[in-house]
Amino acid sequence: MDPSKLYVEYYAKLHAERAMKLWPLRFVKSERPDFVTRHGEIGLEVTRAAIEEWAQQEADMNRAFGDEMPGEAIEQTILADCEEDAIANNSEDGEENILFELPPDVKDMHIGRVMERIADKTKALTEYRLCKENWLYVFSETTGLDRDDMQRVQAFVDAQTEELRFDKILIKVGCLLYVSCRGEELSEVALSASSLMRIHRTARRLPAFKNLI
């Protein structure tokens, strides 16, 4: 399997377990969905809201470097998230630290891609092992989305008409994890930069032991 895909999956597993306070429940590797808890309480599917052209560039880079640099692009993005969280935590009280602002058309592209991945994965749910709760974890490919942008995603989730839907949709944007449930208010979970760094380091090791966890 593509090492960058494994890294993304295991990062999502660890992030979801920590941010959603699942202990003593924990996810084990599966297929369709990517992870399940041992007794089928929760299933977790993981996807990236990648812009196709950028994803192709990353795949080309990974092929060029082989196993020497697995998942480099997505790992560097996550490390940048940790650094941005540290910068924000060091800002003065009451001071909003805005790192950058996306142009409206680029922002719309990223929001649309998140919605597309939710729609695509929702349609595929009939082919998955269904658990008592079914969750979707979506990696946004930019840190330039804010709560107002995620409200647009929440409106999309609220408008879903499919009989079979995800119970929770977790959307990682930078160091924040937004939690979207149909008909409920959008919420968010923020972990510290040190916690995100520990998750990164653990995820970087776990794929080598994927058959043991």
pLDDT per position as a tens digit, 86-108:
545 554 444 444 455 778 888 99
The share of the chain scoring above pLDDT 90, in percent, equals: 57
Q: What is the 3-state secondary structure (H, E, C) of 24-60?
A: CCCEEECCCCCEEECCCCEEEEEEEECCHHHHHHHHH
74-83, 112-121, 183-192: least confidently modelled range: 74-83
In sequence order, what E strands does the chain have? Answer: 27-29, 35-37, 42-49, 133-140, 168-173, 176-180, 187-190
Higher-confidence residue of 79 and 102: namely 102
Residues whose CB falls within 8 Å of the CB of residue 51, separated by 6 or more in sequence, listed in order = 109, 110, 113, 141
- Tell me what the mean pLDDT of segment 30-38 comes to: 95
Q: Could you tell me the pLDDT band of residue 205, with boundaries at 50, 70 and 90?
A: confident
* pLDDT value of residue 78: 72
* pLDDT value of residue 82: 65
> pTM for this structure?
0.83
Compute the distance between CA of residue 112 and CA of residue 61 in angstroms, rounded to an integer: 25
Q: Is residue 133 helix, strand or coil? A: strand
* pLDDT value of residue 106: 87
Q: Could you tell me the pLDDT band of residue 74, with boundaries at 50, 70 and 90?
A: low
Compute the distance between CA of residue 73 and CA of residue 137 in angstroms, rounded to an integer: 19
33-47, 60-74, 99-113: least confidently modelled range: 60-74
Token pair listed for 75 = 């790992």
* pLDDT value of residue 209: 52
- Would you say residue 40 has pLDDT above 90? yes
Token pair listed for 39 = 């007794």
- Would you say residue 183 has pLDDT above 80? yes
**How is the chain split into domains, by residue range?**
3-209
Contact yes or no for 175/193 (Cβ under 8 A): yes
* pLDDT value of residue 187: 97
Compute the distance between CA of residue 85 and CA of residue 175 in angstroms, rounded to an integer: 6
Instruction: For the sheet with 176-180, list strands across it.
Output: 27-29, 35-37, 42-49, 133-140, 168-173, 176-180, 187-190
- Would you say residue 79 has pLDDT above 80? no
- Would you say residue 169 has pLDDT above 60? yes
> Cis omega (within 30 of 0) on the bond before 104?
no
Contact yes or no for 26/17 (Cβ under 8 A): yes
The torsion defined by the Cα of 77, 80, 85 and 86, in degrees rounded to 10, comes to 160
- Would you say residue 28 has pLDDT above 90? yes
